[in-house]
């Protein structure tokens, strides 16, 4: 799933002048969208504890904002992702319709939305959307912006901001969080997965994914709720 991208243009460069590149860090919030949260009415793929984790991520963002130089928020933005959507999903490679572009299910969980509003202007923030016309699990498969001339990959965004280390949180531990973390490691970033700020579709598989990440060099802190 890993994609290699060239280095960037910048809307975040205004925040980067004079900073030491190796020490710069980013919080990556993965797919904390209404359709993935069990406490949201009409959620088509509500993950158990998704709503709880959304609130915890919001609390972490408010309390730890000064620890980061950049915030990245990723989200599914499906237009026509082909066989990723199925009327008879296997819940591994195919899924019910979810996070359709422009629908309420694709918006951030209200508690994350509130936290983003609370920190607005205090931290440069980039939204990465993925999966418009194909399956996309890793945030590194997504892009910033909608116009072709403005589209930057997540890797380009991070390298443009001289980011070297990532804290990764979000939904789901055993799918998009794990895929994002794997790609980050393969691209050479130092990563920490804040397990208590993730929620797994399958708790056992989530634990296996975290163990595999640790074996590959990720730092793990905490475990998903179960």
Give catalytic residues, as residue numbers: 31, 130, 176
DSSP 153-213: EHHHHHHHTT--EEEEEEE-IIIIIHHHHHHHHHTT-EEEEEEEEEE-SSHHHHHHHHHHH
How is residue 58 written in tokens? Answer: 């919001």
Residue 88 DSSP code: S
The length of the chain is 226
* 3-class DSSP state of 111: helix
């Amino acid at each position: 799933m890993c994609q290699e991208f060239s280095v960037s243009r910048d809307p975040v460069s205004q925040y980067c002048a004079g900073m030491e590149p190796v020490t710069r860090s980013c919080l990556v919030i993965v797919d904390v969208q209404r359709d993935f949260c069990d406490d949201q009415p009409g959620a088509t793929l509500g993950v158990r504890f998704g709503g709880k984790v959304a609130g915890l991520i919001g609390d972490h963002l408010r309390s730890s904002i000064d620890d980061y130089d950049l915030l990245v928020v990723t989200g599914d933005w499906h237009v026509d992702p082909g066989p990723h959507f199925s009327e008879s999903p296997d819940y591994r490679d195919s899924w019910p319709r979810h996070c359709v572009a422009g629908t309420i299910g694709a918006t951030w969980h209200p508690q994350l939305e509130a936290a983003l509003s609370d920190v607005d202007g205090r931290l440069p923030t980039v939204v990465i959307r993925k999966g418009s016309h194909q399956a996309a699990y890793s945030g590194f498969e997504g892009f910033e912006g909608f116009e072709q001339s403005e589209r930057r990959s997540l890797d380009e965004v991070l390298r443009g901001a001289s980011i070297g280390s990532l804290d990764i949180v979000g939904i789901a531990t055993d799918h998009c969080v794990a895929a994002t973390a794997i790609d980050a490691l393969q691209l050479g970033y130092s990563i920490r997965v804040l397990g208590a700020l993730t929620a797994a579709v399958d708790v056992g598989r989530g634990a296996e994914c975290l163990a595999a990440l640790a074996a590959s060099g990720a730092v793990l802190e905490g475990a998903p709720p179960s």
